[in-house]
Chain A
Amino acid sequence: MTDRALPKSASVVIVGGGMQGLSCAVNLALLGIRDIVVLDAGYWQGGASGRNGCLIRPGFGGHEWTRLFELSWREWTTLSRKLGHNVMFTERGYTMIAETGPSADMLRNASRLHREYGITSEILTPRQLSGVLPAINQACVTAALHQPRGGMAPHHSVMKGYLHACRKKGIDVRYRTAMTGFDMHDRSVRGVYVKDHLIRCDTVVIAAGPQSPGLARQAQAEIDGYMMRIEAMALEPMRPLIGPALALIDSLAYFHQTARGEVVGGTEVPETPQENLRADVPAMAAMARVYTRLFPQLADIRILRQWAGLLHISSDLAPLLGQHPRVRDLWFSAGWSYGFAGAPGAGLLMAKAIARGKVDEIMRPFALDRFEKGNPIEEAGVVMIKN
C-alpha cells in the first residue's frame, strides 16, 4: 500500500493487520506508545477480519468468556467515537436458539450468569419470540435467549474505522509486507526481519490469525492450537426479514441480515481440518438445511456467494492472550474464534498489559500456559465444532 522505506526501529511491531492487530495498535497509541509498526503479509481485510459473521454479543455461558466479551461489548458501544469513524455497530439484538432440552438448560443457566454481570438477557416466551423474530418456525425451538443489546457491525466499516484511526495516530501499517524472521537474543525477541531488513523493537505482538502458530515456531515459541477452515455464505438481498443476530447452539449455525439486505451466515460440518481458503459444498448445504427448517420463507431465495476463512483454533476454543511463557517480549493475541466481537476489548487489555506491564484480571485466565498448568477454560456457550 505504500512505497516508503521500512523503519529501522520501532517500540512495538505487531504482526497481523487484522482487527486484533489494529485494535492493539490503536489502544497502544492511546496509552502514549509511539513508533508502532503493523506488518501484514496479505491485503487489507484479506483474512478473517474481512470474512467473519460480524456478530457481537456480551454474554456467553461461562465466567471467563462473559467477562471478556462484556468488556469488549462496552468498547463496541463507544468505538465509533474512539476511532473517529462510524463503525455502524447496531444493537439489533442477539438471539441464541436451543433445539434440544440440554441446550435449553444451558441457555437458562447462561441467562442467570448474564444477569450476575449486569447484562440485559432474557429467556423469551414463544409470544415474545414471535415479536422478536416473526418469521421463525417456532416448532424447531425449545428455548431462546435474547440479548437485546448485542448485535452486529459490518466488518468493512469496522476495518475502515480501525485503519483510519491508525493512520491518524501515526501508526505505520503495511500490507503485503511479510515478516520473514525474528532477531532473537537469549530467548527474547529483539526485532523482526522483512527479507533482509531488520526492524529493531522492544516488543513483538503476534496477531496473525491462522498463521500465528507457524510464526510462533519461527521464534522457537510453541503455542497451542491448529489452523482450521470455516465457511460462510450470503443470500441475495431482500427487505428486512430477520432483525437480530442468531446463533443456533445445536445446529452450530450463526447468521444475520445485513444492512444491505443479504442474509449472511455459516455453519460447521465435521471434516478433516482444511488449510486452504476454498469453499466446499457440505457447509453450504448444511447451512441451507438450517435456513429451510428455521425460516421456510428463505427456501426459494438464491445463494449469492460462499467463501471460506481460516482460524487458529486452540484446544479449549478460547483465545490465547498474553506474553509467551518462555520467550520474553513476544506477545500473542491468537486462537480467536469470536475475534470480531472480542477485538475491541482484547486490544484494550493487551495494550494495557504491554504498556503498563500489568495483566488485567479479565485477561489472566486466557494466558498461554493455561494448558500446561491444567487450567483450560470451560465454555458451553460457543457455537463452534470441536474436532
Chain B
Amino acid sequence: MIRIAWNNTTLHASPGDTVAAALYRHGITTIASTRKLHEPMGYSGSYVGGVLARVDGRPNVRLDQQPVREGMRVESQNRWPGASCDLLSLARFLPPRWVHGGFEHGRFTPRRGRAYLLWERLLAHLAGVGRPPPRLPSASERPARKLCVDVLVVGGGPAGQRAANDLARSGRTVALVSRGATLGRYAQAMGIAPAALHGDVTVLSGMELCGSYRCGRLMIAAPVDPERGAVAIEAGRLVLATGKSSMPPMVRNSHLPGVMDAHAAVLLGHFHAVPAGTAVAVVGTGAETMVARRLARLGSGIAYCGDVSGLARIHGHSRVTGIDIGNRRIRCDAVVHAGAWRSDPALAFQARAEGVLQVSDVMAADADISSVGFCHEPDQDIHVPDRMDPALRICPCMDVTAGELMGLIDRAVTDPEILKRLTSCGMGPCQGFPCWESMLALLAKRTGQPVGRLVRPSHRPPRRALTVAQAAGLCDVVEPL
C-alpha cells in the first residue's frame, strides 16, 4: 500500500493507481472547482480543469495522469482561505450576469488609480487558480530529441497499431505516438486482446502529440512526465488514429463530479478496479448498451441505460444524485455518456491551416494527412434540446454558460471567433475541446445553420501538454524557417 496526503487527510492507494483513481476509490469526487463561481468539478474524462491540483508544490498537475508515490502531498487549488474551507464558493450565489464576459470585463471596476490596482490584485487572486511553484535558484531545460520518419501515426489503439504495422511492412519508417504508457488501453479495458506491433515501429508512449506545425511536416510530442524531454518529429505523412471522444450531454449540471465519458469510466473500472458508481446511468448514441454491460462487469450497478436525447437534466449539488428522463426522476450516483462521438479536430486543423485569416501559401496544399479507424468516420451531431437550460455550462472550467452564449447569439453575435473572445469559452485548460463542439452545436441550433458550415475558432498548440522547460529544450533541435 502507498500513502498519499490529500489536503489534510491521509489516504491509502494501490501501486499503479493514478491519484484521480485513488481519490475516486475513497469517494472523493470533487477535486477542483470552476474558476469564477467555484462549482465543484472532478474526474470526467472531458474537462481538464476538473483534475488539476497541486502535487508536491507543483501547481496544475493532472491527477488523471499522475501516478501515486509514497508520501506524495496533493492539495486542491483555488480555495481560500484553505483546502478544507472555501469561502470563494460563495461566488455561486452571485447573479450569473455579473460574471459574464471572461475575466477581462470592466463592469463594476474602478477606472484607474490605486482603486483599480487593488481591484486588479483581487481579480488576479480570484482568477489565478494555482499558486506559483516554490522559488528555485535556477532551473534546467529538458533536452529534446529529434526523430525523422516517413510516416507518423498518432494514437496507439487498434486502428493506429494496424496502420503502423501495414506501413512498416511496406518498408516505410514509422513512429507511433500514444498518450498511454501502454498501447491500446481502452481496447484492452473493453476486453479486446492487444495485437502485436511490428518490430520496426518506433513507439513513443506516455506522450501527447501536442501540435502539428509546418503543414503536418513537423510534430511535437510532449511526455506526460514533466521530467522527460520532448520529441520533435519530422514526417512526410501524418496518419491520425486518435479515435473519438464522447461529448458531454447538453443538459444542466453535466459538469458535476460523477458525470464521466465512457472512456474514463471503463479505464477506471478496468485498470484500477474502481467502479464508476453503485447506480450508474449510461446514456449514448448507440454504444450505451455495450458500455453499460462492460461497466456492470467491472462492478458498477446500472440504474438506467438509454439514448442521450432522452436525458432532460442531471441533478445534484456537489455530485450527481439523479437524472430526469422525460418527466421521470431516476436516482443515480454517476452518469456515463457514450456519444455523441466526435474527433478532436486540433491536429488536422493545425496541419491544414484551417480557420479564418490563415493567409494561405504554397505549403498548405502540400499537407499529407489522413485518418484511420473510428477517427475516420464522420462525427456525430450533438443533441441540443429544443429548450436549452441557460444554467448549462458549455465551458465549465471558465464558467461559460449556455445562457451567456445565447444572450450574445440573440444579439446577433454569431461569429465563433468573437463569441470566444467575448466569453473566454474554450480558453481554459482544455483549449477548446470539447467546449467549442458544444458552443458550435448551440450556435447552429440557435441560428438554424448546419454545424458543418460554421468556421471553428483556431485550435492552437500545445494546449498545456508541454512545459516551459520541455519547450526550451526544443531550441537545439528545431531550426527556424
**A interface list, Cβ under 8 A from B:** 1, 42-47, 50, 77, 80-81, 85-92, 135, 137, 139, 154, 156-157, 160-161, 235-241, 257-261, 269-272, 274-289, 291-292, 296-307, 310
Contact = CB atoms under 8 A, between A and B. Distances in A.
B213 A43 contact: no
Given A157-B106, A285-B478, A300-B58, A277 B359 contact: yes
Contacts of B112: 77, 80, 89, 91
Q: How large is the interface on B (under 10, 10 to 19, 20 to 34, 35 or more residues)?
A: 35 or more
Interface stretch (B97-105, B158-166, B249-257, B315-323): B97-105
Given A271-B480, A280-B213, A300 B468 contact: yes
A86 B111 contact: yes
Interface in B85-117: 102-107, 109, 111-112, 116-117
Contacts of A161: 106
B103 A301 contact: no
Given A88-B106, A236-B429, A288-B472, 20 more contacts: A89-B112, A90-B116, A239-B124, A239-B129, A257-B124, A271-B481, A280-B480, A285-B471, A285-B473, A287-B471, A288-B474, A289-B475, A291-B472, A296-B136, A296-B139, A301-B132, A302-B466, A302-B467, A304-B463, A305-B460
Interface of B: 58-60, 102-107, 109, 111-112, 116-117, 120-121, 123-125, 127-141, 211, 213-214, 218, 220, 226, 232, 350, 353, 356-361, 364, 412, 415, 417-418, 421-422, 429, 431, 458, 460-475, 478-481
Contact of B462 (A87, A89, A306): A306
Contacts of A239: 124-125, 128-132
B137 to A, nearest CB: 7
A81 B135 CA distance: 40
Contact of A301 (B109, B120, B467): B467
B421 A156 contact: yes
B96 to A, nearest CB: 19
A90 B418 contact: no
B104 A137 contact: no
A3 to B, nearest CB: 9
A44 B134 CA distance: 40
Contacts of B137: 137, 296
Nearest to B351: A278
A92 B116 CA distance: 10
Contacts of A291: 468, 472
A303 B467 contact: yes
Contact of A270 (B133, B358, B480): B480
B131 A304 contact: no
A299 to B, nearest CB: 4
A259 B35 CA distance: 13
B214 A280 contact: yes
Q: Is the interface of A mostly helix, strand, loop or mixed?
A: loop
A45 B421 contact: yes
A259 B104 contact: yes
A269 B422 CA distance: 32
B50 to A, nearest CB: 15
A46 B136 contact: no
Contact of B128 (A261, A271, A274, A302): A261
A237 B480 contact: no
B415 A43 contact: yes
Contacts of A154: 104
6 contacts: A43-B357, A43-B418, A91-B112, A235-B468, A261-B124, A300-B467
Contact of B127 (A260, A271, A281, A284): A260
B393 to A, nearest CB: 18
A289 B141 CA distance: 8
Contacts of B478: 281-282, 285
A139 B358 CA distance: 41
Contacts of B350: 278
A281 B232 contact: yes
A134 to B, nearest CB: 8
Contacts of B421: 44-45, 50, 156
A44 B420 CA distance: 12
B139 A86 contact: no
A224 B476 CA distance: 35
B431 A296 contact: no
Contacts of A310: 359
Contacts of A282: 474-475, 478-481
A183 B103 CA distance: 44
Nearest to B215: A278
What are the 3 A-B residue pairs with the smallest beta carbon separation, nearest first?
A86-B106, A299-B139, A261-B128
A299 B136 contact: yes
A89 B113 CA distance: 10
| Residue of B106, B123, B463 ringed by the most chain A CB atoms within 10 A | B106
A135 B467 contact: no
Contacts of B360: 276
A44 B418 contact: yes
Contacts of B139: 292, 296-300
Contacts of A139: 138
A286 B468 CA distance: 10
Contacts of A274: 481
Contact of A260 (B59, B103, B140): B103
B468 A303 contact: yes
B467 A299 contact: yes
Contacts of A271: 480-481
A288 B353 CA distance: 24
A80 B111 contact: yes
